[in-house]
Amino acid sequence: MTTAIVGWSHLPFGKHAEDTVESLIVKAASAALEDAGIEASDVDEIFLGHFNAGFSAQDFTASLVLQADPALRFTRATRVENACATGSAAVHQGVRAIESRDARVVLVVGVEQMTTTPGPQIGQNLLKASYLPEDGDIPAGFAGVFGKIAESYFQKYGDQSDALARIAAKNHRNGVSNPLAQMRKDLGFDFCREESDKNPFVAGPLKRTDCSLVSDGAAALVLTDASTALGMKKAVAFRAHAHAQDFLPMSRRDILKFEGCSKAWGMALGDAGLALEDLSFVETHDCFTIAELIEYEAMGLTAEGQGARAILEGWTEPDGKLPVNPSGGLKAKGHPIGATGVSMHVLSAMQLTGQASGLQIPNAEIAGIFNMGGAAVANYVSILQALR
C-alpha cells in the first residue's frame, strides 16, 4: 500500500447553472486541500478528469486547477480523459505518479458541466463514447447502445424487467440519505417497474428510471505516499488498483460478458490478495441498470446470466452480503462524466473512515470501486482500506 487518500471534497451533484467548469474546479480543489491540511505549495502534480466532448466551450482545462491558489502556479497539471471512466483514470494517474516516486503530493479533480447543454446535443456528446462507425446512427444516443445490450441480454436469459426495476429502486432508496445526490427520492419498485407518462421507455426495454441522470458537479482528492499519510489526520490506502482497456467496437467482443470489467476485478483482487467476499461494499458504475446487472456477473458475484439473483435475493442491499452502491450510485447521485470516478473514491473513503452518516455501512473495512468508460471499454477497479 504505497499511496493513500488524505483529503477530499465533493460538491452536490445536480444543476449548477450559476457555476462554470472553472468555478466548479476551483471550489472542489480548494476544499480538498483544506480538508487534507495541505498547502498548495506542497502539491507536486495535478490531474484533472474532464470528459467535455463539447459540453464546455472551454477546452484545455488542466490549468484551470491552478486558479484555486496562486501557489499552484508552475505545478505539473494534466487533463485526463477516458469517457465515463475519466475520473478514475485521473485518480489512477495520481497513484502511479506517487508509486513511481515522481510526486509526493498529488491533487486530483474531476469535473463536468452538462445541464447547460441543449438536450439533443447532450445525446450527441455522449454518443462520442461509443464506436461511431457502428453505433453513430443508433436512436436515443448512448441510451440506445445500452438498450441494445439489454435487448440482447433479455433474448439470451429472459425478461429481466423485475431485476432492473429492483436495481433502480435500491439505488434511489439509498440516495435518499446522500446529501450530495442529485435525486433524493425513494421512487419505489412499482414506479420503476411500470411504464408511465413519468417513466416512459427510452431505448429497448430501458425506461427513464433505468438511466442515470444528466448532471453537473465536481469532486477532488489529495493523494500522498503511505509513510506521509500515517502522519495525517486521516488516511485511506489503495490496497490495489487495476485498469483493463477493451476493444471499442462491440462487434469485436461478447458484449454480455463485460470481459474488461472481469479482467480488472481479477487483477485488482489478485494484487490485493483478497476475494470478492472480503469486501465490505462496492461502488459500481450503474450508468444504466442493465450495466449494474451485468457487473454483478463480471465481478464474480453470480454466474453468467444469473445476475438477477443478486438483487432479487437482496444480496446487494445495504444489509446484504455485498452492498452495492450504498451512495445511490449514478442513478440517484447523478453522472457528471469527469467527476464520477473521483466521486466514487471520495464516498468510499468516507465510508471507510466512518464519515458517511446516513449512508454508513456498519464496520466497513474494505471498499471495491468499479468505474467504466463506454460499454465496458475502459475498466478501472480500486480496492481501498483505511490506514487510520
Q: Tell me which residues are annotated as active site.
A: 84, 335
CA 37 – CA 114 distance, rounded (Å):
31
* DSSP class per residue in 65-132: GGGG-GGGTT-EEEEE-BTBTHHHHHHHHHHHHHHTTS-SEEEEEEEEE-TTS-HHHHHHHHHTTS-H
Which residues touch 382 (CB under 8 Å, ≥6 apart)?
Answer: 88, 91, 92, 238, 240, 241, 268, 345, 348, 367, 368, 369
For 152, what's the count of Cα atoms within 13 Å in the CB-facing half-sphere? 14
CA 285 – CA 212 distance, rounded (Å):
10
| Measured CA angle at 231 (ends 228, 235), to 5 deg | 80
Question: Which residue from 108, 96, 86, 48 is spatially nearest to 341, judged by alpha carbons?
Answer: 86
For 165, what's the count of Cα atoms within 13 Å in the CB-facing half-sphere? 16
User: How far from 67 is each of 40, 49, 387, CA to CA, in Å?
Assistant: 11, 16, 31
Grid cell 480548494 in the structure block, residue: 30
Query: If you ran DSSP here, which 8-state letter would residue 239 be given?
Result: E
Report the 3 state secondary structure along 251-266: HHCCCCCCHHHHHHHH
Please say whether the beta carbons of 72 and 62 come within 8 A. no
Query: If you ran DSSP here, which 8-state letter would residue 358 be given?
Result: G
Query: If you ran DSSP here, which 8-state letter would residue 340 be given?
Result: H
Question: Which residue from 30, 122, 112 is spatially nearest to 71, judged by alpha carbons?
Answer: 30
